[in-house]
């Protein structure tokens, strides 16, 4: 009897082990998306599932064609094509995220554009489009993107956040977004940003990595934004290692911090840059990488680099280390704290320091509202134009003088 009881206990214990092991092998159910259901019942197709196959969105009715009711992830190389005339509304707090080699193509026309808007018509009611895949692409023409730009995870909160992949935007309209419309990182390939309209947005419509700031054109329009311009997003501990030829736009650039470069920068005539507090151009050719700075305007189209506030030394200025530089018809306003990070060097708007056979050319320029010196030149390391003191205009704010040789 005792033997039978022990065998029964063993059998029950073994059965429990089998049951437990079976439960471990059973896959857990995936958590369900929190999909709101308070959208209008007007025949629009509700999209709430992730997209893993090629998908075409068509204009199938009057009014809104589709509503996005969750944060939709597009992956596995899927292609989304949005045909002309389609209207899409995005529920509050939702977004579109692109991964791996997916594509997002909008084929609107002038007569029949595509609209991507928030269900709630207020700035930042939905988060935006996020390009997260190295090979993902966004190609949009004749599209209107409205009421986006509210993402708590990102520092930029843009309607389109291009972190990776490639992007082309032509003949689109970006309006009533909470902050930036487009963020263009250094890791994105820009196919063209042409003939777009930016209206009534709450920050500079375009924020672009400083290593890409020569990629824009003068055919976009900016109206009614809190700042009508393009923000150059710098990275104080990183260097630009590619040549830049920065074009004139019909609005100013805003430079936010330390613009380091080890290559050549050319600023085109007519360009206007507004420099934020203590921002600086640091042109470092100490490693012989070809760093130089050229800001040659013309009498008809001068170049202006000025502080966001008209305070003495509001932005630091331009410093060259073993680098050639040329300034003609260039206005440098409210700078003057640059000194190549060396405590014994003088503070100035422009400082040119060796070692090296460097050349500094400053002609027909205007230097205003600086605290100490206008120009500081390291001699004999730097060659400079001998009429530097007479061919340029210096106002009386430089308390120590116009040019110092050290």
Q: For residue 158, which of 133, 182, 137 has the smallest C-alpha distance? A: 182
Q: For residue 94, which of 5, 41, 136, 33 has the smallest C-alpha distance? A: 33
CA distance 209 to 189: 12
- 3-state SS string for 99-133: CCCCEEEEECCCCCCEEEEECCCCCCCCCEEEECC
Instruction: Tell me the longest C-alpha to C-alpha distance in the chain.
Output: 118
DSSP letters for 126-173: S-EEEE-STT-EEEEESEEEES----TT-SS--SEEESSEEEEEES-E
Q: Yes or no: say if 68 and 90 are a contact pair by the CB < 8 Å rule.
A: yes
| CB within 8 Å of 16: residues ≥ 6 apart | none
Q: Yes or no: say if 87 and 45 are a contact pair by the CB < 8 Å rule.
A: no
CA distance 127 to 232: 22
Query: Quick one: pLDDT at residue 20?
Result: 36
Profile the chain (406 residues) by mean pLDDT over runs of 10 residues.
Answer: 43 40 31 57 93 97 96 96 98 96 98 97 96 97 96 74 97 96 97 97 96 97 97 94 97 96 98 97 96 98 98 97 97 95 89 90 98 95 96 95 95
CA distance 233 to 310: 22
Number of neighbouring beta carbons within 10 Å of residue 227:
17
Query: Quick one: pLDDT at residue 155?
Result: 59
Query: Quick one: pLDDT at residue 9?
Result: 42
Coil/strand/helix, residue 379? coil
Query: Quick one: pLDDT at residue 156?
Result: 61
CA distance 5 to 14: 14
Query: Quick one: pLDDT at residue 320?
Result: 96
pLDDT digits (tens, 9 = 90+) for 296-344: 999 999 999 999 999 999 999 999 999 999 999 999 999 999 998 787 8
Stated length of the chain: 406
pTM of the model: 0.88
| CB within 8 Å of 173: residues ≥ 6 apart | 113, 143, 144, 145, 196, 197, 198, 199
Q: Which residues of 278-308 are buried (b: 16+ CB within 10 A; e: fewer)?
A: ebbbbbbbeeeeebbbbbbbeeeebbbbbbb
């Amino acid at each position: 009897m005792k033997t039978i009881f022990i065998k029964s206990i063993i059998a029950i214990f073994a059965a429990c082990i089998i049951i437990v092991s079976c439960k471990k092998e059973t896959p857990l159910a995936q958590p369900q998306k929190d999909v709101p259901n308070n959208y209008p019942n007007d025949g629009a197709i509700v999209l709430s599932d992730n997209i893993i196959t090629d998908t075409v969105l068509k204009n199938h009715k009057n009014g809104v064609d589709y509503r996005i009711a969750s944060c939709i992830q597009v992956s596995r190389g899927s292609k989304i094509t949005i045909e002309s005339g389609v209207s899409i509304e995005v529920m509050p707090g939702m977004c579109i995220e692109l991964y791996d080699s997916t594509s997002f193509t909008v084929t609107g026309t002038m007569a029949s554009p595509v609209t991507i808007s928030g269900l709630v018509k207020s700035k930042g009611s939905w988060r935006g489009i996020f390009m997260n895949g190295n090979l993902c692409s966004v190609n949009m023409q004749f599209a209107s993107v409205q009421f986006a730009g509210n993402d708590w995870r990102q520092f930029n909160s843009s309607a389109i956040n291009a972190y990776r992949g490639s992007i082309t935007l032509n003949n689109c309209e970006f309006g009533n977004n909470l902050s930036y419309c487009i963020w263009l990182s250094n890791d994105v390939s820009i196919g063209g940003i042409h003939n777009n309209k930016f209206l009534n947005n709450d920050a500079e419509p375009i924020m672009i990595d400083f290593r890409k700031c020569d990629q824009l054109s003068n055919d976009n329009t900016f109206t009614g934004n809190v700042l009508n311009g393009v923000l150059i997003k710098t990275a104080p501990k990183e260097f630009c290692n590619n040549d830049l030829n920065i074009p004139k736009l019909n609005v100013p650039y805003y430079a936010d911090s330390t613009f380091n470069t080890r290559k050549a920068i050319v600023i085109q005539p007519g360009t206007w840059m507004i420099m934020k507090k203590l921002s600086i151009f640091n042109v470092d050719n100490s490693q012989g990488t070809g760093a130089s700075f050229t800001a040659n305007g013309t009498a008809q189209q001068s170049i202006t680099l000025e502080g966001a506030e008209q305070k003495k030394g509001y932005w630091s200025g331009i410093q060259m280390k073993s680098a050639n530089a040329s300034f003609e018809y260039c206005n440098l306003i409210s700078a003057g704290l640059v000194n190549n990070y060396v405590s014994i060097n003088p503070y100035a708007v422009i400082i040119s320091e060796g070692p090296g056979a460097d050349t500094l050319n400053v002609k027909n320029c205007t230097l205003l509202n600086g605290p100490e010196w206008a120009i500081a030149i390291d001699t004999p390391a730097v060659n400079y134009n001998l009429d530097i003191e007479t061919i340029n205009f210096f106002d009386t704010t430089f308390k120590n003088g116009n040019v110092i040789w050290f």
